[in-house]
Structure 1
């Protein structure tokens, strides 16, 4: 389960934005995105790809002060085996850019995971549009899709792996009109697109290094 990630401006993010046809200066950068945060998502429109701000929590609830993350549904992630029941998988797919993410095993031994080659990460996600009944404002929410565990992360987080898209998958993923979900089966296989540097940290919120980084191979030996 990916519940914390990092997005900082660097050369690889500018390149990722360029590959997606959006302006990197318009991304919402933050050193620590956590559940309920406002994040940047990239979606396809009739005029090309665009950056939108979204609440990182797919299901929202109308309250007296506006739309808020629904307390009954912890929906920062959408599991791969729930996608068939999510209309957003057919109609509202997005890309969530990141430069690093954090994982832990049963809430213990958290690690900061960063591409060893300093490349950017393009998470595959879903989004929803809501209308705030108080203001009439359209509010967007989003989740990151999680897949089965990857063997490289077995000692970091064995249960799941965030969906990490490769550049040649971007167009199909975003083009919901032209790409049926039946064409996306290969996208839902857990993959790392480069080796990762895994740094032990004290906790997600502070990210103080407490041990030596290790290298996780994208294709570990069995």
Structure 2
């Protein structure tokens, strides 16, 4: 997965927030979330689902100026074959809401990918909780889980895809009562949840279209 995604305020993101029983006005919106950005994550608790701000970089490092992304551990993504060994997979799972994401092949020919029907995307992730020794503030950090590459996207990004949760898995994924990894491992299978609109863009950050959009069909997901 390329390290850039989008969350804009529209009907799809509002509907996703509604399904997750959170206030869409609490979400952080942006056109260019990149490593180290402050993003929104949704977590489970005994009182329901909670929107939290989090640094998109799982491992942080204490500095004299506060907690910062740990440069020795590039951790915006966590591979499917490593996540099962992490305590966070059993205890601290989250959903990262998005409306589009960028993929490219070996850093070239980036495409903006978004659900063709306008729905929101629920990326599966894990998070950590830290206490900043400078400010005393409790802060969170997060990583998006990545899965093996999938045939419909092989010409755009062959190596991996972000974990995209199906609607009926939200409650189980966020439940603090589900601590047995075996109950969740069926979700570690690559899948498209709908048709995607793919738009060739000039660069990951600027996202200026340079070609006609085309549809990647979910039906080719085998």
Query: What is the TM-score with the length of structure 2 in the denominator?
Result: 0.97
Gaps of 5+ in 2: none
Contact 1:110–1:200 (CA under 8 A) maintained in structure 2: yes
Rounded to whole Å, the distance in 2 between the matches of 1:120 and 1:50 is 17
**1:22 aligned residue:** 22
How far 1:103 moved relative to its partner?
0.6
User: 1:221 and 1:70, CA in 2 relative to 1: closer, same or farther beyond 3 A?
Assistant: closer
RMSD over aligned Cα, in angstroms? 1.1
How far 1:186 moved relative to its partner?
1.5
Contact 2:2–2:104 (CA under 8 A) maintained in structure 1: no
1:101-130 CA-partner distances (Å, limit 9, x unpaired): 001111011000010011110000000001
How far 1:178 moved relative to its partner?
2.8
Q: Does 1:99 align with 2:131?
A: no
Q: Which runs of at least 4 in structure 1 moved beyond 3 Å after TM superposition?
A: none
Q: Does 1:68 align with 2:68?
A: yes
How far 1:168 moved relative to its partner?
0.2
1:185-222 CA-partner distances (Å, limit 9, x unpaired): 22111011111111111111111111111211113177
Rounded to whole Å, the distance in 2 between the matches of 1:172 and 1:76 is 23
Alignment size in residue pairs: 222
User: 1:66 and 1:15, CA in 2 relative to 1: closer, same or farther beyond 3 A?
Assistant: same
SS in 2 for 1:129: strand
Of 50-59 and 212-221, the range deviating more from structure 2? 212-221
Gaps of 5+ in 1: none
